[in-house]
Amino acid sequence: MTRQQLVEQIFKKRSYLCVGLDTDITKIPKHLLSQPDPVFTFNKAIIDATKDLCVAYKINTAFYEALGVKGWEAMEKTVRYIGDEHFKIADAKRGDIGNTSDQYAKAFFEFLPFDAITVAPYMGEDSVKPFLEYEGKWGIVLGLTSNKGANDFELKKMDNEFLYEKVLKTVSSWGSLDNLMFVVGATQADAFINIRKLTPDHFYLVPGVGAQGGSLKEISEKAMTEDCGILVNGSRAIIYASEEEDFADEARAIAQQYQHEMNQYLR
């Protein structure tokens, strides 16, 4: 999906919501466990209930990889079921020496029809570039994350600037506005003002709103651009809104709350 197509979807739906399909088989409603593929059955119901309210889905591959072959099969069925109207993100946090990243890129962009993949930048340019060489595909590079461990490296000073600032400035020259995004955690809301100065026109994938306490209003005020420029991810707050048979209806209700609020903030 191109940047223009993504922006068109955002303003058509009046939403910049990304639904995180971080599907933990131990947390899905128990009545689904008797299904041949409970993870896909759950995902399909969530997608059907939210597809008109969001523009993207993010699949955290760890929850699928942990289930072995069946998990990979569920992930493949899920990403293919989502279709082409939505921006499909593999939250895989890959990034290795060039020839290894080449293979990761083939796996997620050629074998699996993802539009984007999250990438760790700390092995340098040759570990990121392979993900930026596919037309219509995106690398979403970790910028400033919201976990406690961000203090270990990202928020350490290096030559009078934070390491994450150096990452943003350096990586932004490796790709373009059409194939490169950054992950910036919602719980780092105050940092968005400075981050926008460093990368004024890039899209950001913003996790941490909802269950992790990030404020949609704050993020929208501090990070939004004329073409929106942000995808706000909601995972647990949406997909685990209910443990009962009404789980899809409840997920839709939460997604609808996000969309209604986003509609107010879109310029």
Which one, of 248, 254, 178, 257, lies nearest residue 217 by Cα?
Answer: 257
Q: What does the DSSP 8-state code read for residue 191?
A: G
Structure tokens at 15: 């939403």
Distance CA 197, CA 172 (A): 12
Unique residue bearing structure tokens 């809104």: 241
Which residue in 44, 93, 166, 222 is the catalytic one? Answer: 93
- Taking the C-alpha atoms of residue 183 and residue 193, their distance in angstroms, rounded to an integer, is 15
What span, in angstroms and rounded, lies between the C-alpha atoms of 201 and 190?
18
SS3 content of the chain, % helix, strand, coil (to 5): 50, 20, 35
Which residue has tokens 């949609």? 216
Active site residue 70: no
Residues labelled as active-site residues: 93
